[in-house]
Amino acid sequence: MKEKLGDFKIDGMASRYNVFMPRFYNFCRSLGFERKKIMPSRAFCSDENQGFPIILITKHFGTFPFNHGRVGGIVATDRHGPHAHHGKDMVIIHASHVGYDPDAGNFGSYRRLQTEHNEYTTDCGKIAHVTDWYLKEYDFAKNNIFLHREDDKYLITIDNHLLKKERQAGVFLRLDKIIKPDEDGEYHPLMSLSTSKSFLLVDSFVKSLPDFSWETSKGNPIGDSLAKDMIFFKKAVTGDTEGKDHLETNLLPYMPDIVTSNSPSLTAAVANTQIEFDRSFRTIVKSDDYRGKRLVLISGVNIDISPGEGQIFPLTKFVPWAAYIQNIDDSFYTLEQADIVEQLKGQTTDNPDQIDLEKAMQVMEEAKEIQIRTSV
């Protein structure tokens, strides 16, 4: 069965972290979480632009959050036990992240203030690194498959490389979606050329392209008409849970959606968030780490909007995907995207328990010096 992404929405669902965090804190309090007894944890990528959300978590929950995250927005589920030991009531905030350029309206890049010329670079870099190979494979296919017409015949000419079934890695075509089979149900070429082969197109595919320009002798590249349901990918990845290939293992089944998306980096971040929420939920309910504790796990996507003039931090927005709520008697339930957004919007942005970070640091600076004694 082909993997399908959940219906993730951004419009009307996103909120700035300075709004999301007090509402989320108050949501936790409404569930019976005790003030000054809540141990938050963040499962974010390690990028520096994830620091501002961490500062706001600290401000509103009154303590620096535990670290549940690995590069790319993977949840370190082997840290459930240590996290559970650090507080009475538990919170895990998980997010993959993606940059957003408000001037261009594009996802996937972020302006790094600490570079020499404030350059835009990929964001999330791990997601970009993983998806780059697949995007190049898809681009090759888009530019080396040609559609053309000869008299009343609609033809497709495919590079021989793309027809090699024995390949161990690459983009592969779902031939039944594009090629008309012969009477035996086989896909025999009408012509075999030096580096490609030509076939009759399936009628339904021809009808789906009413505006395509067929009238050239060589044909025109199929381009973006090579849809996600016409391709799949193969690549050997180790499948090591929470290791270096974990993100790629997550994304591989969804690569047709990702490479054909108008915003591949956003689609990849959404896919990873959905997979990691489901996986983390199952590790929690199957383990004893959080037994007898209140717990909220919320997953979403952090959208990193590059700092503007005079700004130091990104204007990060959080888009929730789902939440898992566990009561102290170990009963639990989940909230889907629309439900958790509605619950959050019902909370006030006033948090009387938030701490003054500047004042807290001043107290520490003025504290009496403590000498460390050692027998070494």
Indicate whether 119 belongs to any domain: no
Judge whether 346 lies within some domain. yes
Q: Strand, coil or helix: what is 63?
A: coil
Same domain, 230 and 295: no
Q: Is residue 226 over pLDDT 90? A: yes
CA distances 371 to 78, 189, 368, 376, Å, are 36, 83, 10, 15
334 within a domain of the structure (yes/no): yes
Better-scored residue on pLDDT, 321 or 238: 321
With 70 as the cut, is the pLDDT of residue 8 above it? yes
Report the pLDDT averaged over residues 191-205.
Answer: 93
The reply to whether 201 and 164 lie within a common domain is yes
> Which pLDDT band, with edges at 50, 70 and 90, does 104 fall under?
confident
Classify residue 248: in a domain, yes or no: no
Residue 6: pLDDT band (50, 70, 90) is confident
Judgement on whether residues 139 and 103 belong to the same structural domain of the protein = no
324: in domain? yes
Do 87 and 48 belong to one domain?
yes
Q: What is the mean pLDDT of residues 302-325?
A: 93
Find the domain containing 282 and state its range. Answer: 15-108+263-366
Q: How many domains does the chain have?
A: 2
The pLDDT value recorded for residue 158 is: 96
Among 216, 234, 252, the domain-final residue is 234
Answer yes or no: do 267 and 362 share one domain. yes
Average pLDDT on 282-304 reads 97
Rounded to two decimals, the pTM is 0.93
Residue 349's nearest CA partner among 59, 36, 25 is 25
| Other beta carbons within 10 Å of 122 | 17
Residue 216 has pLDDT above 70, yes or no: no
**Residue 135's closest CA among 226, 42, 243?**
226
* Final residue in a domain of this structure, among 234, 249, 274: 234
Q: pLDDT by residue (tens digit) across 114-140?
A: 888 888 889 899 999 999 999 999 999
Position 202 in a domain = yes
- 159 and 209 share one domain: yes
**Rounded distance between C-alpha atoms, residue 124 and residue 98, angstroms:** 5
On whether both 139 and 79 belong to a single domain, the answer is no
Whether the predicted pLDDT of 211 surpasses 80: yes
pLDDT-derived band at 214, boundaries 50, 70, 90: confident
269 and 361 part of one domain: yes
Tell me if 109 sits within 8 A of 121, measured CB to CB: yes
Tokens of 353: 């328990």
Last residue of a domain, one of 219, 234, 249: 234
pLDDT digits (tens, 9 = 90+) for 147-163: 998 888 899 999 999 99
Q: What is the pLDDT of residue 120?
A: 86
Task: Give per-residue pLDDT as tens, 352-372.
Answer: 999 988 998 899 888 988 888
pLDDT at 174 over 80: yes
Q: Give kind and range of the element (H or E) at residue 175.
A: none
Question: Both 220 and 267 in a single domain?
Answer: no
Please give the pLDDT value at position 114: 86
Q: pLDDT at residue 243 above 90? A: no
Give the total residue count for the chain: 376
For residue 373, being part of any structural domain is answered with: no
Measure the CA–CA gap between 272 and 109, rounded to whole angstroms: 18
CB of 100 closer than 8 Å to CB of 76: no
Beta strands in 151-186 (DSSP E): 153-159, 170-173
For 42-86, the pLDDT digits (tens) are 999 999 999 999 999 999 999 999 999 999 999 999 999 999 999
Q: Is 1 a residue whose pLDDT tops 60?
A: no
Tell me the average pLDDT across 179-193: 87
Mean pLDDT calculated for residue range 88-103: 95
Q: Out of 150-159, 170-179, 275-284, which region has the weakest mean confidence (pLDDT)?
A: 150-159
What distance in Å separates the CA atoms of residue 75 and residue 24, rounded to the nearest whole number? 20
* Residue 149 shares a structural domain with residue 82: no
Give just the sign of the alpha carbon dihedral 343, 298, 33, 65. Answer: negative
Is 298 a member of any domain?
yes
Mean confidence (pLDDT) of the chain? 93
User: How far is the C-alpha of 18 from the C-alpha of 312, rounded, in Å?
Assistant: 15
228 and 175 co-located in one domain: yes
